[in-house]
Structure 1
Amino acid sequence: MTDGEWTLPDDLDAVREALIEWYEADHREFPWRRTDDPYAILVSEVMSQQTQLERVEEAWAAFLDRWPTTADLAAADRADVVGFWTAHSLGYNNRAKYLHEAARQVEEERGGEFPTTPDGLQELMGVGPYTANAVASFAFDAGEAVVDTNVKRVAYRAFDVPDDDGAFEAAANELMPEGRSRVWNNAIMELGGVACTKAPRCDEVGCPWREWCMAYASGDFTAPDVPTQPAFDGSRRQFRGRVIAALREYDELALDALGHRIRVDYAPDGEYGREWLVGLLADLEDDGLVDVEAGPDGERVARLRR
């Protein structure tokens, strides 16, 4: 499946299940992941904007202990809410004001009931598209794909999605299994938060997408929020990525056919010829990404490892 310059794997069901199984087997236990209360989730989302999650945990619990429902928050003195925000170093005080006003809207305009869709949630004060989608996903399992910095980094590295908001949104929604926004959005953000970090930890945490990931194949882990690595053009990292891309397209290729598809100056007996290609493929075999075997006519062929 393609859209412009980027391509998602054909076996999307396998991609999806691999990530969900990885997430459900082990993930960070933030308390807001154990509730579907839209108010508690909204508080966590607003607090998490530009604030480390570890610091949010204590503030989130204290906030809900003091104002456990939208009715409690709506009845509070706004100065007290802003004072709490400041005391816990949660960033811009306007967020506290907006959260207080959103609680008032829920109570006075909606009879204490939260909207359940992203469009409805955006009618609340200070709730933009990202926060509305997150609350719809995590509280009601009714959102679209969440696209934050972590998700962009994952999509850029794994599937060569260009640094374009429209492309990221399209790819994220294509990846997400229908009707599973709660677990999916938690899972893909977890992937970016603990595995596909700025300094990637692919093998250390057992990233479930290694077999499909273009960055893992090429060794180039640049991303929109990660400085470009030097001298990528012409590097082995670049040609490793081209090998994986070619084998995804053609399933298997004889060595010389593969060589001609990954570099214009390939010559079987030249400096960048069969010997160079065999060495490149050996690296990919060692990484568990490619197999090189004898074909029906005895000629060696390369294919992706399944």
Structure 2
Amino acid sequence: MTDPAASFSLPDDTDTVRAALVEWYEADHRSFPWRETTDPYRILVSEVMSQQTQLGRVEAAYREFLDEWPTVEDLAAADRSEVVGFWTDHRLGYNNRATYLHTAAGQVVEDHDGEFPTTPDGLQDLHGVGPYTANAVASFAFDNGNAVVDTNVKRVLYRAFDVPDDDAAFEAAANELLPAGESRVWNNAVMELGGVACGKTPRCDEAGCPWRAWCRAYETGDFTAPDVPTQPSFDGSRRQMRGRVVRALRQHGALELDALGHRVRVDYTPEGTHGREWLTDLLSDLESDGLVSVDDDVARLSR
């Protein structure tokens, strides 16, 4: 059987890759109520609600659900028909998710004295809790999970590191990147990257993606992915040129501006439309993003 890890190659400087993502996430990220708690009950509720449901609708329903049943004991004691009715009224998808959540609450109370299991394997013993949800709860509640791999994470790994469209390869790559003992912050960060910067239509520069210096898609301008089968529209000229700058500096090291310009555009001429002024403007953006530094008309990667 082929080793899934043999089908991709992560950057050699993985510690720098990890640090860049965590720093980006901790500097600024979307605020959701389930990110402000480590209560496994509240996190389980959010995970079950979020399955194929828009986060905007989930956030309002989540708050109302917890107003009605604030603890796992409250939910276990509730009438199941009321829980299902809540689910239906808030258009949260398949009603069996409500019944699974109600049954799982009963298991926690009756079989575990109100204490949630703390490992992915233990959490999977709860009714309706599959591997993904168990791992998410273990990560976000107990900082004790493996890498979470959802559609957003697959898209990021496929684009950034050329991980093939294979579940085993995605899982292997995600777990190789995961810093030991930091599943809570890491899984939140990589999912945020997929949701904010690396969506179906990428926002690499606008969102300040921290992985642009390593990203294959950013270099090539090809942002296809397993859930994006055709090339999405994007500001191809400028983004592609920025990617070419990063690629040229990675391949050749520090370069004088004119030498760099010829590697970025075949029609580069210092005094032309796409010349020194155009290149300096492009480099200024990259300097602002902390990717490139320019000194004495020589450009080099900052990382």
Aligned-pair CA distance for 1:3: 3.1
1:28 aligns with 2:34: no
Structure 2, unaligned runs of 5 or more: 233-238, 256-262, 270-275, 294-298
Aligned-pair CA distance for 1:84: 0.4
Aligned-pair CA distance for 1:305: 6.1
Question: Residues 140-179 of structure 1 correspond to what in structure 2 (within 5 A)?
Answer: 140-179=142-181
In 2: Cα distance, 1:173 partner to 1:246 partner: 30
Aligned-pair CA distance for 1:7: 1.5
In 2: Cα distance, 1:243 partner to 1:62 partner: 49
Aligned to 1:134: 136
With normalisation by structure 1, the TM-score equals 0.79
Q: How many pairs were matched up?
A: 279
Q: Which amino acid aligns with 2:8?
A: W
Aligned to 2:81: 79
Aligned-pair CA distance for 1:246: 9.5
Q: CA contact under 8 A between 1:176 and 1:184: conserved in structure 2?
A: yes
Could you say if the C-alpha distance between residues 245 and 172 of structure 1 is closer, same or farther in structure 2, counting changes exceeding 3 Å? farther
Q: Which amino acid aligns with 1:139?
A: A
In 1: Cα distance, 2:136 partner to 2:15 partner: 23
Structure 1, unaligned runs of 5 or more: 231-236, 255-272, 292-301
Q: Which amino acid aligns with 2:172?
A: A
In 2: Cα distance, 1:24 partner to 1:102 partner: 32
Residues 225-259 of structure 1, C-alpha deviation per residue, up to 9 Å, x if partnerless? Answer: 112239xxxxxx99x989978986x77699xxxxx
Q: Which amino acid aligns with 1:201?
A: R
Aligned to 1:69: 71
Q: Which amino acid aligns with 2:220?
A: S
In 2: Cα distance, 1:21 partner to 1:27 partner: 11
In 1: Cα distance, 2:20 partner to 2:124 partner: 32
1:108 aligns with 2:95: no
In 2: Cα distance, 1:61 partner to 1:290 partner: 44
* Identity over aligned pairs, percent: 73
Aligned to 1:208: 210
In 1: Cα distance, 2:184 partner to 2:17 partner: 17
Q: CA RMSD in A?
A: 3.5
Residues 31-78 of structure 1, C-alpha deviation per residue, up to 9 Å, x if partnerless? Answer: 010000000000000000000111101101111111111111111111
Which one of 225, 228, 237 corresponds to residue 226 of structure 1? 228
Which one of 9, 13, 34 corresponds to residue 7 of structure 1? 9
Could you say if the C-alpha distance between residues 138 and 284 of structure 1 is closer, same or farther in structure 2, counting changes exceeding 3 Å? farther
Q: Which amino acid aligns with 2:116?
A: F
Q: CA contact under 8 A between 1:284 and 1:290: conserved in structure 2?
A: no
Aligned-pair CA distance for 1:5: 3.3
Aligned to 2:272: none
With normalisation by structure 2, the TM-score equals 0.80
Q: Which amino acid aligns with 1:208?
A: P
Q: CA contact under 8 A between 2:219 and 2:247: conserved in structure 1?
A: no
In 1: Cα distance, 2:129 partner to 2:267 partner: 53
Could you say if the C-alpha distance between residues 140 and 284 of structure 1 is closer, same or farther in structure 2, counting changes exceeding 3 Å? farther
Aligned to 2:186: 184
In 2: Cα distance, 1:247 partner to 1:3 partner: 28
Q: CA contact under 8 A between 1:133 and 1:144: conserved in structure 2?
A: yes
Q: CA contact under 8 A between 1:35 and 1:139: conserved in structure 2?
A: yes
Aligned to 2:52: 50
